[in-house]
């Protein structure tokens, strides 16, 4: 049986990236990564910003990582100022996969604090990959301002990002555990428990942390003694 996309023509491949069938778009993205060509980069980046299928987006990112960073990175950095949230999110995700630390300064506070949860999540993940050692403490401080934000999935993403920053994190969490905001305090306590025991379940940690946080900021220190 014929595959949905078999053309070796460059124009056909670019057109297939916008095909109505996700299977055709997936194969086209795979072909673009298998046969890298600078002429594909613009269309791959554009498609990342609008592609509705998760698996196709993942393949688009892979295809971009197969191209020269000297071409893809500047174009992806441009996308960070896009009005389209998905474009910002996917550009951040792809930059984290490329791993060029030269783009660290492009991970701005406006991205870390983006009102769109997926953009913020992608910014947190990209930041912990790209941050220079000298800026890890400042990044931990910035990320700690997002404690208590969103649902459990978003909070777990932030906890993992903070924990990935290493030894600079415990003092930041200790300060957050004295917050007057219960949600912030609970999230900080749960993150600290995951720091101490990475195998602990986040759901149990956050539920216990909520109980501790409700009793006051001194409770966690008392229980840790």
**Residue, of 81 and 9, whose pLDDT is higher:** 81
pLDDT band at 198 (very low <50, low <70, confident <90, very high): confident
Percent of the chain with pLDDT strictly greater than 70: 84
Q: How confident is the model at residue 41 (pLDDT cuts 50, 70, 90)?
A: very high
CA 105 to chain centre: 16
Q: In the prediction, which pLDDT does 222 show?
A: 45
- Lowest-pLDDT range, 1-15, 146-160, 175-189, 194-208? 1-15
| DSSP state string for 72-102 | HHHHHHHHTT-SSHHHHHHHHHHHHHHT-GG
The mean of the pLDDT values for the chain is: 89
- DSSP, collapsed to helix, strand or coil, labels residue 146 as coil
pLDDT, average across residues 38-48 = 96
Q: Where are the alpha helices (DSSP H) in the chain?
A: 10-16, 22-34, 41-48, 54-65, 69-79, 85-98, 109-112, 117-130, 136-144, 152-164, 169-176, 182-196, 202-215, 219-224
More confident residue, 190 or 57: 57
Amino acid 129: pLDDT = 97
Higher pLDDT: 102 or 14? It is: 102
Domain spans, the chain = 135-219
């Amino acid at each position: 049986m014929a595959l949905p996309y078999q053309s070796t023509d460059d124009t056909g491949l670019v057109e297939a990236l916008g095909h109505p069938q996700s299977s055709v778009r997936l194969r086209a993205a795979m072909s673009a990564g298998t046969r890298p060509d600078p002429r594909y980069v613009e269309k791959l980046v554009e498609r990342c910003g609008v592609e509705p299928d998760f698996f196709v987006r993942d393949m688009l990112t892979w295809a971009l990582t197969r191209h020269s960073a000297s071409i893809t990175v500047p174009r992806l950095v441009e996308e960070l100022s896009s009005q389209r949230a998905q474009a910002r999110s996917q550009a951040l995700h792809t930059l984290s996969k490329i791993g060029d630390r030269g783009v660290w300064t492009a991970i701005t506070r406006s991205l870390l604090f983006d009102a769109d949860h997926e953009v913020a999540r992608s910014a947190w993940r990209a930041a912990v990959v790209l941050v220079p050692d000298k800026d890890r403490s400042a990044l931990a401080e910035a990320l700690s301002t997002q404690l208590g934000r969103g649902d459990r999935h978003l909070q777990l993403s932030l906890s993992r990002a903070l924990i990935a920053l290493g030894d600079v994190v415990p003092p930041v969490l200790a300060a957050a555990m004295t917050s007057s905001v219960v949600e912030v305090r609970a999230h900080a306590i749960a993150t600290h428990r995951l720091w101490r025991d990475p195998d602990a379940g986040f759901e149990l940690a956050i539920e216990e942390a909520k109980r501790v946080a409700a009793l006051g900021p001194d409770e966690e220190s008392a229980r840790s003694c």
